[in-house]
Amino acid sequence: MTQTTTGGCQCGQVRFEAKPPELSAYFCHCRMCQRAVGNIFASFVNLPKADVRWTTREPDYYASTMFARRGFCSACGTPLTFDYPDSDVIDLTLGAFDDPSLFTFKHHFGVESRIEAFRHTEGFPEYRTTDYQPIRQRWLDHYGKLPD
């Protein structure tokens, strides 16, 4: 079953509607993705380009290689896509979806660059953002309330 999902960048200037054929995502550990998202892995949803509609404006693109490009918002910097311009499919970053919890992970890619030290984090202490007093106070000072 295909479900319409929505998403976009942090500032809202780039928004999309997507109809992924399945609600699955994958982790990419390759060095280019690590650098592109500034993290030890990226998470993506792969789907046909025909099933993505940009509802505001299209993202800006950076040619990360001679054969691939990455879409991003030039206003806020949010990484949004990875694709080969000559391909019929595109990857949308999982974090750009309004509800990333809809998706389940199906595989890892680019494992030759996986950072093994961060593979097992079960049992680590966990903290809520609003439990950290300096952030909590900044939210209250600037917005008058805590985020949802």
Summarize pLDDT for 53-84 with one digit per residue, the tens: 999 999 999 999 999 999 999 999 999 999 99
Q: Which two tokens stand for residue 32?
A: 């280019």
Give pTM, 2 decimals. 0.90
User: Is 129 domain-assigned?
Assistant: no
User: What number is the average pLDDT over the span 139-143?
Assistant: 93
Residue 115, number of CB atoms within 10 A of its CB:
11
Q: How far is CA 146 from the centre of its chain?
A: 24
Q: Which domain holds residue 27?
A: 5-120
Domain harbouring 25, CATH code:
2.170.150.70
Counted domains in the chain: 1
User: Is 79 domain-assigned?
Assistant: yes
Nearest to 82 by CA among 115, 39, 49, 38: 49
Cα angle, residue 114 at apex, residues 112 and 120 outer, rounded to 5°: 140
User: Is 53 domain-assigned?
Assistant: yes
Query: Which DSSP symbol is given to 97?
Result: B
Please name the amino acid found at residue 77. G
Radius of gyration of the chain (CA): 17
User: Is 87 domain-assigned?
Assistant: yes
Q: Has residue 12 got a pLDDT over 70? A: yes
User: Is 139 domain-assigned?
Assistant: no
Q: Which two tokens stand for residue 46?
A: 């792969």
User: What number is the average pLDDT over the span 121-130?
Assistant: 88
User: Is 146 domain-assigned?
Assistant: no
Q: Has residue 1 got a pLDDT over 70? A: no
